[in-house]
Chains A and B, each alone.
Chain A
Amino acid sequence: MAGGPSREYNNRLIRWVEYRLPIFSAVEATIGRDMPTPKNLNYWWSLGSVLFLALIIQIATGIFLAMHYVPNGAMAFDSVEQIMRNVNYGWLLRYVHSNSASLFFAAVYIHILRGMYYGSYKAPRELLWIIGVVILVLMMATAFMGYVLPWGQMSFWAATVITNLFSAIPWVGESLTTWLWGGFAVDSPTLQRFFSLHYLLPFVILGVSLMHVWALHVHGSSNPVGISARSKQDTIPYHPYYTSKYMSVIGIALIILAFLVFYEPNFLAHADQFKPADPLQTPPNIVPEWYFLPFYAILRSIPDKLGGVIMFGGSIAILFLVPWLDTSRVRSARFRPTYRYFFWIFVLNVILLGWVGAQPPEGAALVIGRLATAYYFAHFLIVLPFVGWFERPRPLPESISKPVLKSGTPAAEAAE
């Protein structure tokens, strides 16, 4: 937590509370007037606020949905229709909840890509990055279990496919899967426990997010230039500069969310979800939500079941190693002309993997998927280390405040 003298407040009530529980100065130190922030942050730094908004929206809508939803195989689908038709504004709660999940993942992917472009994960922010990947994993678990709850065809078969992955683990796989299911197949016991965990995990995410912000505030935000702030001239207080800057982004995020919710609420949904779960009929093409498609593509690229599971887990686990895989001494891709190309190729590759994940795993899509999977890992295991070693970075400016370098001198600015 931020040290230093706490602020003097004029308001007596605030002083009374502050003396007993210094909540006001804590807020000021976190996002207020006492949080020195690099003055050159661009809009790619706004996603943290958007993510916090998305989490609050999901928790609020989720709690009120849970007042009406029934987590039992026989009643779940009907209870969702009940919410849509009979609960006052139930349709609104439901559509906001389902579409905010997409907002949440869109924001987190952009947030992660920002980190990869600007080298935000470099020392001393490695643990900040790792905590972030933990949040990503928690989000994926939460979203997966949440998708099962409406108990439509895709809910049931996504649960079946993903829980079946665990049976690939040698020795303990079968028992582990039976334990997860609470039975011999995905059925109501599975649904019931997924509901309990789906309610729990967002609060775990909330807690880990607070740790994420805590870790951030030890050394403060990085910035687009990648050079640490060195003097007061390099920073401005978070409030009112960044609060005002990022409110517009929140506004735009809400506009996009509102457009989906009110005009195309099922644009990102699958038609099969509106059929009740049928254990005796598999949908012709089982597809997860869009935000899982790249990982799904990686899973299905490997012909071996255990191999697919390992690569699927590996594709997320590799993110934990990024701070050490990237050998560049320069943080920001703004000064890394070679790496920049590879960054955008990586983005294109992930989008391509997403497309592959939506196709049936055969023919050209399968071949492309395998190549794209190989490239995904190559980016982390080959591009990051080698480009870091061999690249000739552009000269860095002297400081954040002086973006234009004095002529001639390539700065030997190491990532601190």
Chain B
Amino acid sequence: MTKFTNVLSAAAVSLALATGLGGTAQAAGGGPQPPMHEWSFNGLFGTFDRSALQRGYRVYKEVCAACHGLKYIAFRNLVDIGFTEAEAKALAEEFEVAGDPDEFGDPTTRTAKLSDTFPDPFPNPQAARAANGGALPPDLTLMTKAREYGPDYLRGLLIGYTDAPADFELAPGMNYNAYFSGHQIAMAPPLSDDLVEYGDGTEATVEQMAEDVTTFLHWAANPELERRHQLGFQVMIFLILLTGLFWVVKQRVWRKLDH
């Protein structure tokens, strides 16, 4: 190939990579880019920090669960974040779920078992809106996958409540947030210093709680992450070795060919 077509094809490849890396991974139309944080679960060998997960669960339970559901997590899943089965059972018993109808056909409630999933805080979306000034608090299980920038966005949102700039018109009942799309969010700042008492003595600053609950929710969205990374390492090594073997076979086979 001539030099110019070399340049053209190199341009094609780099343009493809640039648009691929920059252009497709995002659902456009979000707010400004939140600050990037170093998470323990990022990277090829990323894992979840167990104590952060448990603190994050505490934040979810005491702050968020009043309005936000976690419908795809079962109480038995809490064993995976470091609680024993007995502890998980006790955590389940803090929740009420729908039971079987009684002998008159009326609905009953019972305490949750390990096999139950987290109950929705509201019986239906209409009740949720009525209790929250018309806004619908979304379920949080998939939140770090359902937003551009994922965990960084979630943490940014939680620490991003600031005073509105002087020229910004804030609608009544709304709160200014630096990273929410449009900057006006119906949810009042959910976190304040020392809102939650951590069992392990960690100081519960807003930044700490934001980081912990984001870690917990990223686990809720990706419970298989650690297994995925572990298996991925084994598979990659195997495939790299296998491809190397194939390459050697090819060289040997073709060497016999007289040109």
Which A residues are closer than 8 A to B by beta carbons?
Answer: 39, 78, 81, 84-85, 91-92, 95, 236, 240-241, 244-245, 247-248, 250-252, 254-255, 258-259, 261-263, 265-272, 274-275, 283-285, 287, 290, 293, 337, 340-341, 344-345, 347-348, 351-352, 354-355, 358-360
Contact = CB atoms under 8 A, between A and B. Distances in A.
A24 B242 CA distance: 27
Contact of A244 (B1, B243, B254): B254
Contacts of A283: 27, 29
Contact of A344 (B5, B20, B27, B254): B5
Contacts of B44: 263
Contacts of B142: 81, 274-275
Contacts of A358: 19, 23-24, 28
B72 interface: yes
Interface string B1-41: 11011001101100110011001111111000000000000
B253 interface: yes
A351 B19 contact: yes
Given A240-B253, A271-B26, A262 B8 contact: no
Q: Is the interface of A mostly helix, strand, loop or mixed?
A: helix
Interface stretch (B99-107, B196-204, B233-241): B233-241
Contact of B243 (A252, A337, A351): A252
A56 B97 CA distance: 44
Interface stretch (B85-93, B160-168, B223-231): B223-231
Contacts of A258: 232, 235-236, 239
B257 A84 contact: no
B146 A275 contact: yes
Contacts of B146: 271-272, 274-275
A283 B27 CA distance: 9
A39 B254 CA distance: 10
Nearest to A262: B232
B72 A81 contact: yes
B254 A241 contact: yes
Contacts of B50: none
Interface stretch (B59-67, B210-218, B244-252): B244-252
Q: How large is the interface on B (under 10, 10 to 19, 20 to 34, 35 or more residues)?
A: 35 or more
A271 B147 contact: yes
28 contacts: A81-B141, A92-B231, A241-B253, A241-B257, A244-B246, A248-B250, A254-B239, A258-B239, A261-B232, A262-B231, A262-B233, A265-B228, A267-B25, A268-B24, A271-B26, A271-B145, A271-B146, A274-B142, A283-B27, A285-B27, A285-B28, A287-B24, A340-B2, A351-B15, A352-B15, A355-B15, A355-B19, A360-B28
A265 B229 CA distance: 11
A91 B224 contact: yes
Interface of B: 1-2, 4-5, 8-9, 11-12, 15-16, 19-20, 23-29, 44, 72, 77, 138, 141-142, 145-148, 150, 181, 221, 223-224, 228-229, 231-233, 235-236, 239-240, 242-243, 246-247, 249-250, 253-254, 257
Given A241-B253, A262-B233, A355-B15, 19 more contacts: A81-B142, A244-B253, A247-B246, A247-B250, A251-B239, A255-B239, A258-B232, A258-B236, A261-B232, A263-B44, A266-B145, A274-B145, A284-B28, A344-B9, A345-B8, A347-B12, A351-B19, A355-B23, A358-B23
B73 to A, nearest CB: 8
A359 B28 contact: yes
Nearest to A354: B19
A284 B19 CA distance: 20
A246 B4 CA distance: 29
B122 to A, nearest CB: 16
Nearest to A289: B24
B214 to A, nearest CB: 15
Contacts of A245: 250, 253-254
B253 A255 contact: no
Nearest to B250: A244
B228 A262 contact: yes
A287 B26 CA distance: 10
Select the residue from A248, A267, A341 with max chain B CB neighbours within 10 A: A248
A341 B4 contact: yes
A337 B25 CA distance: 37
